[in-house]
Structure 1
Amino acid sequence: MTASETSSPDVADPQRGSDFARLSREIRQAGLLERRRGYYFARMAINVILLAAGGVAFALLGDSWWQLLIAAFLAVVFTQFAFIGHDAGHKQIFRSRRRNNIVGYLHGGITGISYLWWVGKHNLHHANPNHEDHDPDIDLPALAFSRDQSRTKRGIYRWITKYQAFLFFPLLLLEAVMLRIASVQAVVRREVKRPVLEAVLLTLPLAGYLTAVFLVLPPLLAVVFIAVHQGLMGVYLGCSFAPNHKGMPILNKEQEVDHLRKQVLTSRNISGGRWVDGLLGGLNYQIEHHLFPHMPRPNLRRAQPIVESFCARHGIPYSKSSLRSSYAQVLRHLHDAGAPLRGRTPSVEIPG
């Protein structure tokens, strides 16, 4: 869900002559850092209505295998709630940290993700995207994002990394569950600022969810419903975040680049119409989002041509591709990263 203001320099950059400062002035003069509370109130209201509609349909449908369609629908709705939690963590909704936190805590509880645990983790990512020593998003047990990383894998993780391009989407089925587990661990270990509050917010919605599912559905169908709901939510979350940085340049401690280039060179935008904006929760404007993490989601579309033009004038590579092409690039990159583990295994072409 997020990154606070500590994740990147404020737009009032003291280096007034820097490229980032000049770009920031263009963005600020265009009014793109102004809050869009009306948009967010409408978006949150729609999400609540959709959640309520899913709940009513679930109750009316009862003992039926058609419930799996409701599970898929709720996977989409829950992910949309997660997008709002992400924006709250970035202080995109309100200027007040307290108000953003209230929204973030509530949405984290609904989706089963510890809000402050996610904030801390995501701040590290925003500060050093695709940095092999500092970005937690490319430090995963079961995946390698460089050939050097793949050589460090052991046991079952080594086998998974060997064929990670083919296992990537199946692994995403576990993403939502793994986020829940990591959230519970963070709360139990008291690694978050308000462990009691987060424990309550994670426990009560989960208890209500499980109670409803097992009251309405027979045991087998209830288990399958939960598996479909959580599995598809994990795939949706993973497919929303994976195209943004995977397959882009990876930095190390020997590479020194300024803030502007660090964020632009390691990020990829996803082109498409407003349906892509809605589908990916605005994360398709990853370059603009990383440069200005406080910028409200609906303003990212307007900021995109300003940032792209600025990069073109300053000779900074600006990456964007279609959704399909971005996944192909991710899979090719993962396949290449696992190459050292396959030895003489013939290379298999990844579609796309």
Structure 2
Amino acid sequence: MSQTTAVVGAPDPGDAVAPPGSEFAPLLRTVKGRGLLERRRSWYALCMSANVLAPAGIVSGIVLIGDSWLTLLLAPLLAVLGARTAFMGHDAGHSQKGMEIPDPNGERWGHLRRQVLTSRNIRGSALTDWFLGGLNHQIEHHLFPSMPRPNLRLAQPLVRAHCQDVGIPFVETGLVDSYRQALCRLHEVGKPLRTEWTEWTE
């Protein structure tokens, strides 16, 4: 899997850009028209049931195995399922460290620009969706926070195409590169503290 960052829909200086207040409405109509904002209660019920039964099965396995090093083999599974349970409960994960932020003294951003420009998606397969709880589709999740999680992947091509039409960059990156970008940003913002600590300890 490529770990490069792809930016789709960067504006051409000669392109006309719609006023910020009107950019989101056409996308919202399209998404509603496809039924992507309709509740998916059965999907959530199935996931929540699995999130209760699977850890119960692992804990039962630990009890049955007893006092043995073999129980350590079940620990990673329990950790992954615990993280997925947290995703289900929280239903929001943020991978936007180091993204653009609006200039308080500059042009006011509408909903579409504010959510798309301050988020990035993480590319991947259905397995990536499973491990990250579907929240690797951060742009779609921020635009439509009440959208059922399994519909985020379905909304992605609509959002990407709309961003390209209105000239808004749509950023996607690989999983490893997303961590690299976040760590680089944390390193950057921590630089003044490191400098201060070095001066204090000398």
Q: TM-score, normalised by structure 1?
A: 0.47
Task: Measure, in 2, the Cα distance between the counterparts of 1:27 and 1:250.
Answer: 26
Matched AA of 2:40: R
Contact 2:115 2:142 in 1 (8 A): yes
In structure 2, the partner of 1:261 is: 113
Task: Measure, in 2, the Cα distance between the counterparts of 1:251 and 1:339.
Answer: 22
In structure 1, the partner of 2:98 is: 247
Matched AA of 2:170: Y
- 3-state SS in 2 of match to 1:66: helix
Tell me by how many angstroms 1:39 deviates: 1.6
Unpaired runs of 5+ residues, structure 2, are: 1-20, 196-202
Tell me by how many angstroms 1:308 deviates: 0.5
Task: Measure, in 2, the Cα distance between the counterparts of 1:275 and 1:245.
Answer: 21
Equivalences for residues 25-64 of structure 1 within 5 A: 25-64=29-68
CA offsets 1:32-55 (integer angstroms, 9 cap, x no match)? 011112222222222222112112
Task: Measure, in 1, the Cα distance between the counterparts of 2:98 and 2:130.
Answer: 23
Matched AA of 2:78: L
CA offsets 1:119-165 (integer angstroms, 9 cap, x no match)? xxx7xxxxxxxxxxxxxxxxxxxxxxxxxxxxxxxxxxxxxxxxxxx
CA offsets 1:188-245 (integer angstroms, 9 cap, x no match)? xxxxxxxxxxxxxxxxxxxxxxxxxxxxxxxxxxxxxxxxxxxxxxxxxxxxx45x11
Task: Measure, in 2, the Cα distance between the counterparts of 1:245 and 1:254.
Answer: 22
Q: Which runs of 4+ in 1 moved over 4 A?
A: none
Q: Which has the higher contact order (CA 8 A, sep 6+)?
A: 2
In structure 2, the partner of 1:116 is: none
Equivalences for residues 1-352 of structure 1 within 5 A: 18-87=22-91, 241=93, 244-251=95-102, 253-255=104-106, 256-343=108-195
CA RMSD of aligned residues (A): 2.0
How many positions carry a matched residue from both structures? Answer: 175
In structure 2, the partner of 1:190 is: none
Per mean C-alpha deviation after superposition, the further-off stretch among 312-321 and 324-333 is: 324-333
Unpaired runs of 5+ residues, structure 1, are: 1-16, 88-121, 123-240, 344-352
Task: Measure, in 2, the Cα distance between the counterparts of 1:245 and 1:335.
Answer: 15
Matched AA of 2:68: S
Normalized per residue, the structure richer in helix is 1
